[in-house]
Structure 1
Amino acid sequence: MGFLTRLQRARRTLVIGLFAWVALLPAAQAHLMVAQRGTLNLVDGGAFMVLSIPVLAFQGIDDSGDGLLSSAEFGAHRQSIIGAVKQGVVLSDAQGPRELQGMMLSLAPPDHRGEGESEGPSSQLVVMGRFDLGEPGSPLRFQVNLFGQSAAEQVFRVTASRADKSEQHLMTLTPQQPSADMFPSAWQTFADCVKLGAQHIFEGPDHLLFLLVVLAAGWGWRHVLGALTLFTLGHAVTLVLSLKGVVSVPASVVEPAIAATIVGMAAFDAIARYRGHRPPRWLLFGLVFGCALIHGLGLGAALSELGLDRLHQLPSLAGFNLGIELAQLAVALVMVMLALAVQRWRGDGGLQLATRLVGVMAMAMGLIWLVQRLSSLA
């Protein structure tokens, strides 16, 4: 059996498997929605906290197994909840963890209320209390280890404020990064945002797939350099404009549009290959730039949800953008190296066949995402 025949069979098998695998997944989302909220107000040597915590973050308190906490369950497990909060919500200074004093617990506004119940059952528990701080001006670090099970319960947004200096700082905590410094320096903010930008690209399958489609349209260094440059410029423009409030497009429009860019670019490349001629470079790069504008809206929404540091807006934007570009450059380098390896192993014919396979996979995945995201609007 010849190599091309085996590769064609592998392509059919891979595409069928891809459809089956993706069909089992929920709608792919590039940007995580924030669920939990909280505040930390520093006043007169203390930090006053209000924090909403998902019920499913606590072990052994949901006796009914419905994912909610009733008033009866709340009363029965109150002491274990207090112990879990003291261990899972920590504010530390230079002297170590500070004790949470005067803790008050209450059920959040209920998801539904049974007959005769004054409160609950609820999916959220509200915690209030005061951390007694040590030396004034000591660096502070806040940590939460009480995350729920669903994606919506995997992020806390906590706003820290310091009344004497009129400062506010938004912290975004996740299971991967459960702690954050309060009121960080500009340099630390920049470094953190570089990490966030790179992480967003590596964890955003739609951005990576679009980049793969664009690079597969031509593996020459001029094409790779031009495509990366225009993709960078395009999404940087709308990223900044969206964060500044100049452009505002709802996620219900942006998310399907991002999936459509993948389908569109893959279809454009497939048609060009079928006709047997390359489109003008200016047309291809123009499409890349236009699609990048759409992707920038999604990236702006992601940074907005993660929390743009109002104290250091410029370092936040610069760091997030730099992280995105470094991640894209790393991905592009790996893709080019793989393309060169295929070309050396199987020649130009093998590379062309592999490129067509990439286009088919990208179009299939993009179509599935597009249908899923549009159907979620119904």
Structure 2
Amino acid sequence: MSRLCRSARWLLTGLLVLLAAVPAAQAHESRPAYMEIRETAAGQYTVLWRTPVLAGRRLLVVPRFPEGVRNLRAPVVQELSDSQLERRWIDAGPEGLDGARIEFAGLQLSITDVVVRVHLLDGRSWMAIARPSQPWVEMVAASGGWATFSDFLRQGFAHILSGPDHLLFVFGLLLLVRRRWMLVKTVTAFTIAHSITLAVATLGYVQLPAPPIEAAIALSILFLGLEVLRARRGGTSFTIRHPWVAAFAFGLLHGFGFAGALSAAGLPPTAVPLALVSFNIGVEFGQLAFVAVVLLLARSLSALTLRWPRPVQLLPAYAVGSLGAFWMIQRLLSV
């Protein structure tokens, strides 16, 4: 197992270097944008458009309504700590928006989704999701529970795989833990912890501001990098002896980070339990896929008997800690 983990470290060192070149503001670009369309009179609607903001940068996605749609009054824009809210009042004419297509320019260049909720005067309501592969939605009632389940399953899967900070923490756990069963125990503790806080935050029992949570997540990566470095130098600590405890404690923080993505979807109360379950399953599938790829690639290289210089052996630990420190400083400056 130790030989396998050594191979994994060298295999993913290049990946860490690439992550360092990615703008840190995109660490959570996968948080969805959100649009709510509510019909107030025949052919007239109020539109709430929310786009995520991280480190002062707003997701560059612009909604485009069909030709003929006009503003009834000037839009109102409100800047929040983690998003930008825009309210519109529009008139779509006598035919309204029924069957129309709303496009989201720039979405195809991002790694996020747009969740759209629609409420009509006749009592119909539904939810749809626009994706980079399909940057538009049609104003047609979507199917029920299965559509919600599959949509948020994919969203959870995409969120974890497009969030380099969460993946970097998992990678740090792989570097720290050498024994197979301890690794299983540690990853399981991380999973249980972030599932708990994802649930309590999404259901509204605990509400914490996003910027400090994001900074604390970066701090957990920095801490883990230092512990990996200590272990590689032959030292020991409580975290090194009991990595599952640290994984559980920091997993609680990461769960609040996941909850920010799910809460941004603006789900109706009746859809929250199903979306919560499917989103969490998607997150776990994505996490397990990442771990499986690392271990499978490492196993394929385990036959190699390479001797690396000491500085190179410590490079993965420095990379994890340095990226954690960089993200932490950037996020603290944005609090």
| Structure 1 position 314, deviation (Å) | 2.1
Q: Structure 2 vs 1, CA of residues 355 and 48 (structure 1 numbering), >3 Å: closer, same or farther?
A: farther
Inter-partner Cα distance in structure 1 for 2:287 and 2:246? 18
Partner amino acid for 2:119? S
SS of the counterpart of 1:200? helix
Structure 2: runs of 5 or more not aligned: 1-9, 51-59, 79-85
Q: Which structure carries more relative contact order (alpha carbon 8 Å, separation 6+)?
A: 2
Partner amino acid for 1:305? A
**Sequence identity of aligned pairs in percent?**
24
| Structure 1 position 85, deviation (Å) | 3.6
Q: Structure 2 vs 1, CA of residues 303 and 176 (structure 1 numbering), >3 Å: closer, same or farther?
A: farther
Q: Structure 2 vs 1, CA of residues 278 and 354 (structure 1 numbering), >3 Å: closer, same or farther?
A: farther
Larger Rg: 1
| Structure 1 position 362, deviation (Å) | 1.0
Equivalent of 2:328, from 370, 373, 376?
370
Tell me which residue corresponds to 1:266: 225
Instruction: Decide whether the 8 Å contact of 1:343 with 1:350 is kept in 2.
Output: no
Instruction: Decide whether the 8 Å contact of 1:141 with 1:179 is kept in 2.
Output: no
Q: Structure 2 vs 1, CA of residues 188 and 333 (structure 1 numbering), >3 Å: closer, same or farther?
A: same
Instruction: Decide whether the 8 Å contact of 2:176 with 2:240 is kept in 1.
Output: no
Deviates more, 1:181-190 or 1:210-219: 181-190
Q: Structure 2 vs 1, CA of residues 47 and 189 (structure 1 numbering), >3 Å: closer, same or farther?
A: farther
Partner amino acid for 2:265? L
User: Does structure 1 residue 335 correspond to structure 2 residue 262?
Assistant: no
Query: What does the per-residue CA deviation read over 1:252-306, in whole Å, with 9 as the maximum and x for residues that have no partner?
Result: 1111011111111111121122235586777210000011100000100111113
- RMSD (Å) for aligned C-alpha atoms: 4.3
Tell me which residue corresponds to 1:147: 105
Partner amino acid for 2:322? A
SS of the counterpart of 1:227? helix
Equivalent of 2:304, from 345, 349, 360?
345
Inter-partner Cα distance in structure 2 for 1:259 and 1:295? 10
Deviates more, 1:353-362 or 1:259-268: 353-362
Inter-partner Cα distance in structure 2 for 1:124 and 1:208? 35
Tell me which residue corresponds to 1:318: 277
Q: Structure 2 vs 1, CA of residues 48 and 228 (structure 1 numbering), >3 Å: closer, same or farther?
A: farther
User: Does structure 1 residue 234 correspond to structure 2 residue 193?
Assistant: yes
| Structure 1 position 184, deviation (Å) | 3.2
Output aligned runs, 1:1-378, within 5 Å: 21=21, 25=23, 27-31=25-29, 37-41=35-39, 48-51=44-47, 85-86=65-66, 103-105=69-71, 106-109=73-76, 127-129=90-92, 132=95, 143-147=101-105, 158-162=116-120, 165=123, 168-177=125-134, 178-179=136-137, 182-276=141-235, 283-346=242-305, 356-377=314-335
SS of the counterpart of 1:86? coil
SS of the counterpart of 2:37? strand
Tell me which residue corresponds to 1:94: none
Structure 1: runs of 5 or more not aligned: 1-9, 55-66, 68-83, 88-101, 112-122, 135-139
Q: Structure 2 vs 1, CA of residues 48 and 110 (structure 1 numbering), >3 Å: closer, same or farther?
A: closer
SS of the counterpart of 2:296? helix
TM-score by length of 2: 0.73
Question: How many residues are paired up?
Answer: 304
Inter-partner Cα distance in structure 1 for 2:276 and 2:230? 38
Partner amino acid for 1:234? A
Q: Structure 2 vs 1, CA of residues 15 and 293 (structure 1 numbering), >3 Å: closer, same or farther?
A: closer
Inter-partner Cα distance in structure 2 for 1:16 and 1:184? 41
Inter-partner Cα distance in structure 1 for 2:130 and 2:151? 12
Inter-partner Cα distance in structure 2 for 1:125 and 1:110? 9
| Structure 1 position 360, deviation (Å) | 1.5
Partner amino acid for 1:275? G
TM-score by length of 1: 0.66
Partner amino acid for 1:310? P
Inter-partner Cα distance in structure 1 for 2:91 and 2:115? 16
Q: Structure 2 vs 1, CA of residues 41 and 343 (structure 1 numbering), >3 Å: closer, same or farther?
A: same
